[in-house]
Amino acid sequence: MTEPRIAITRWEDVPGERLQFYWDRVREAGAEAVDGTSVDGAKFDGLVLTGGIDVDPASYGAERHPKVKYMDSRRDEFELDVLRRALDADLPVLAICRGHQLLNVAFGGALLQHIEGDGHRALKEEGMPSQWHIVRLEPASLLSAAYALTEMEVNSRHHQAVVQETQAPDLRCVAVSPDGLVEGVESTRHSWVVGVQWHPERLEPDHLGFAGRSRSLFAAFVAATQNVREAV
């Protein structure tokens, strides 16, 4: 059987982020990485929604917070369209950081547009290193099964978030930060649709074990795409 084709959305340059990380993790997991901007009308077996600039509050009917400065409604519209195609076909989806937030919007939720303080944002230092915190994973979840853990340390590089008050009704919260942010979600209507607020694609060499644990998430995602192909 040929490798599953995974569409990976891409973005404008964002300081401290690397599109290549997503492609490398997908390829390591045994799949073909495909440019997400060129899948119009083409077949793909799974979708990765990547990080990047803020989701436009207009996409969920809200007024823009003064701290929301970098957004692109064209990107929102394109990614929401590709995401809905994947959801309609019940294809596996792994949504990361901004992608996690966009997944919540696609399901009818909204976002906390700005987290007060600097506790979740990348540090304003050379290389823009991540901040870190613990998340609790729901034991009976795809996310916990992928990591084989119920608690782990994750990186943090965001200022918008999903919170309980803004979470979409057909998404289940499966990971929570100590300050109550919804850091992991799963669809209750699809076979394998997972969103994570952290960045599992990053190598983070200063945090031993993070990259190895994160590869297990990409492996579970790619395995889900193979299962879908075999069932067709």
Q: Which residues are catalytic?
A: 97, 199, 201
174's tokens:
């499966």
Instruction: State the amino acid at position 135 in one-letter form.
Output: V
Q: Please choose, from the candidates 190, 149, 202, the residue with its C-alpha nearest in 3D space to the C-alpha of residue 46.
A: 190
Tokens 């590709």 correspond to 82
Q: Which positions ≥6 away from 183 have C-beta within 8 Å?
A: 135, 154, 175, 176, 177, 196, 197, 198
Other beta carbons within 10 angstroms of residue 134's beta carbon come to 12
Number of residues in the chain: 232
